[in-house]
Structure 1
Amino acid sequence: MSAKKILVLSNMYPTEKAKSFGIFVKNQVDALREKGLEVDVIAVTNPSMKKQDVIAKYLFWMLRVMLHLILKGRSYDVVHVHYVFPTGMLGLLYKKLWKTRLIVTAHGGDIDRMAQKSGRIRHWTKRILEEADHVIAVGQKLYENIHEHFNIPKEKISIINMGVNRKVFAPMDKSAARKKCGIDEQSIPILFVGNMIKQKGLLELIEAFSMLKREIPNVSLYLIGAKKDFTFYNELVEYVHRRTLQDVFIYDAMPQSEIAVWMSAAEVFVLPSHLEGFGLVALEAMSCHTPVVGSDVGGLSYLLADGAGVLVEPHNPQSLYEGIKKVITDSNIGKQLIQKGEIRAQENDQQYLIEKVIQVYSPPEGMSNA
C-alpha cells in the first residue's frame, strides 16, 4: 500500500522573512503535495544562529513536536526527517510510539560536521541511521560516508538529491537578464549564491577575483545570500576593502524566481565550498545554462565531473582564479559546459526525483510497519 499521509520534520524551513532558509525542503514538500500526498510540516523557521536564539527556537520546536506526537502522531504513514541530528531523534519517537515508517534525509553537514562535534552526537547519528527504515543521501560521497563510516547497509540507502525545479530555473536571454539585474552591458558578471559563511570559500573567491580584475578589468562579482555569521560577514567586507576592490556587490538572500534571473545573467557561477553534500545551487545554475566552477569536494566532485563543470582545488585562490579565467576567456569551453550542464539538469529534474522519494515512502512488498 502506498503512503498517503506524511509528516515532515526539519530544522530548516523558509518564511517570507527568511526566503532561502531550507528552501529545498519546502520545494520537495510542494512537489509531494502536487503528487496528491497529504503533507504536514513541523519545522524551525528562524535562521538566527545567536546562542540564545538557537536554544529558544530548538526548545520551542521540540515542544511543538512532542505535543503533536501525543495528540496526532498516530495518523501518519511516514515521518520524513531532514538532517540526521537532532531532527532524527524526534522522528524516532514517532517510530517507537506509533510504529510509523521513518525516512531520514542526510544533507551533508549533519554527517561531515555535526557528527564530528562530539562522541555523543556521533553515537546518536549512528543510532538514528541504524533505526531509520530508509536513509536518503543527497550525494554520492555522502552515500559512501554513511555506508563506510556508520556501517549502514547499501540496500538501506538511496541517493536522491533534492532536485532542480526546471520551471523556476529556466534559461533566459543573457542580455535581457542582465538588464533586469541592472548589470552594465560591458561587464562580465561572476556569481556566487549561498550562505555568507567561511566554509563557502568566499575569502578565496575574493582573492581569485582580485587576480582576475588585474587582467580582465571589466569583471564584476556578485555575492547573494543570507548573512548567517555576522563576524565572518564583517571580515569579508573588510577583506574587500583592504584590497580596494571595485565591482564587488553583496546582496541579501532573494526568492528563487529572482535568483534564476541572476543565474541566467551571470557569465560564470562559482561555488568554492570547503564542504558540500550535493551542491544543488550549482545544478540550478546549470539548469539556467550558466557554466559552473566549483571545488573538488563532496557532491560537487560528482556533479561537475566529466566536463559538466570546472573542478578546482578547495582553499586554493590560484586554482579558483585559473578555473574562472578558463571559462571567461574560452567560449568553446563555455559552450561545452552549458551542453553537459543541461544533461545534468535533466537527470536531476525534481519531477523525476520526487517519484523516487515516493517509492522510498512505501514499505517493500510483504513488509508493513507493524
Structure 2
Amino acid sequence: MRILLVSQMYPSATDPDLGAFVALVERELAAQGHELRHAVIDHRGGSPMKHARLLRRAVMTARRFGPDVVYAHFLVPAGTAAAIAAAAGGAPLVLTAHGTDVANAERHAALRAATRATVSRASAVIAVSDHLAARLAAAVPQAREKTTVIDCGVDLAVFAPRDAQDARASVGWTGEGPFVVCAGTLAERKNVLRLADAFGRLGRGQLAFVGDGPLRDVVATRPGVRVTGRVAHDEVPAWLAAADVVAQPSVLEPFGQVTLEGMAMARPVLATRIGGPPEFVPAGAGVLVDPESTDDIERGLHAALALPCPNPAARAAALEHGSERQAARIAAVLTRATTRRAA
C-alpha cells in the first residue's frame, strides 16, 4: 500500500521530540512492507505560512507519488491539508485525532467548522483513546460512525526494562529517597505545580521534570525538584528507567504516551484519572488520581511508591500496546479505506 503521511508535528535534528509518535507509526508501517512518503512540519514556532507550505508539499507529493491513501495526524490544520492532497491525488483520506485538535474544535466555532468539513471528507477517523473518541463525536457528530480507537503504541524494544542503578548513574542521581520522574511540557495542563507541591510533602528524594515550558522557572524553585530542560527523545528511556515512579497527573490527558512508556519500562506510574490513562493502567501497575487535588496526588505518590519496582504488571499491560501491533491495526483501517474507494 502506498501511503502519504501528513502531519503538523514530526521530529527533526533541531526538534527530535516533536511528534516522535508519528515517526514511530511511519517506521512501523514501512517495516510491515508499505511504501510511504510524507509531508510534515518538523519544527516548533516559525511563520504561520508554514501551514501553507505544508499544504503545498502535501498536494505536490500526492500528485507525484500517487498514494493509495492519504493518512493525516491531527484533524486541523494537517487534516485539512491532507484532505486537499487526497482530492488532488484521487485517494481516500484517513485522519488520526490526538487531543489538542479536538479541544480546538470544542472551543472555537471556526475550527469546529473546519474540523467538520475535514471529517466529512474522510473515509475513516482514528482516535487515540475512547475518551477522545467520545469528545470528538460530541463536537463533530460526523465522526461518530467513522471512528476507530487505536493509539500510536510504544516501541517495546526502546522502552524496555533495564537496570535502575545504571540508569540513575547515567542521569546523575545518586541521592537517597524516592526518585520520581515527570516527562513532558512544563505547562498548566500537565499539572506540574500540584505534582511539585505534593512531592514536596514527602520531604525526601527528588522529583525530576524532564522537559521545558512556561512554568519551568516556577517549578524549579520547589524543594526537591530538578528541571532538566528539553532532552533528546532517545535520552528519555534512561530517565524513565531511573525512576521509582513515572508521574503524569495531567489535568487532562487525551491518551498518556509517557505513562505508557513508563509502564513499558516496568515502572509503576502515577496518572490522571481524567482522559486516556484509565483505559490502559490496570490495578497493580499504577495509581490513578484526581488531578485537581494536591492531597490526592500526594496519596497517589505514597501508593505508587509502595508498588513493586520493577513492575511486571505494568510491563504486561504495555505489551498490549506495542507499536508493531498498533501499526498493523492502523494499516487495516487504511486498507479498508482503499477497498471502499475501489468499490
Taking structure 1 as the reference length, the TM-score comes to 0.86
State the alpha-carbon separation in 1 of the partners of residues 319 and 265 from structure 2. Answer: 12
- Cα offset for 1:186? 2.3
CA distance in 2, matches of 1:325, 1:366: 52
CA contact (8 A) 1:83 1:110 kept: yes
What is the Cα deviation at residue 206 of structure 1? 1.4
Alignment check: 8 A CA contact 2:69 2:338 kept: no
After the TM superposition, which residues 155-304 of structure 1 pair with which residues of structure 2 at under 5 Å, given as runs? 155-213=145-203, 217=204, 219-227=205-213, 232-233=214-215, 236-241=216-221, 243=222, 245=223, 247-304=224-281
* Structure 1 equivalent of residue 21 of structure 2: 24
| Partner of residue 109, structure 2 | 119
Give deviations 1:253-294, integer Å, cap 9, x for gaps. 333332111111100010021121111111110010111001
The answer for unaligned runs of 5 or more in structure 1 is none
CA positional deviation for 1:30: 1.0
- RMSD, aligned α-carbons: 2.1
Provide the secondary structure at the position in 2 that maps to 1:80: strand
The list of structure 1 runs, each at least 4 consecutive aligned residues, that deviate by more than 6 angstroms after superposition, is none
Give the superposition deviation at 1:61: 2.4
Greater Cα shift, 274-283 or 148-157:
148-157
Cα distance change of structure 1 residues 295 and 67 upon mapping to structure 2, 3 Å threshold: same
Structure 1 residue aligned with 2:51: 58
- Whether the aligned pair in 2 keeps the contact of 1:146 and 1:152 (CA below 8 Å) is no
1:302 maps to amino acid: E
- The 8 Å contact of residues 120 and 143 in structure 2, kept in 1 or not, is answered as no
Quote the offset at 1:369 in angstroms: 4.3
Checking the alignment, whether the CA contact within 8 Å between 1:11 and 1:43 is kept in structure 2 is yes
Q: 1:202 to 1:13 in 2, by over 3 A?
A: same
Percent pairwise identity: 26
Residue segments in structure 2 that go unaligned for 5+ positions in a row: none
Contact 1:208 1:321 in 2 (8 A): yes
| TM-score, normalised with respect to structure 2 | 0.93
The reply to whether residue 143 of structure 1 matches residue 133 of structure 2 is: yes
Contact in 1 for aligned 2:6/2:39 (Cα 8 Å) = yes
Name 2:123's counterpart in structure 1.
133
Kept in 1, the 8 Å contact 2:59–2:89? The answer is no
Residue of structure 2 aligned with 1:107, choices 78, 89, 98: 98
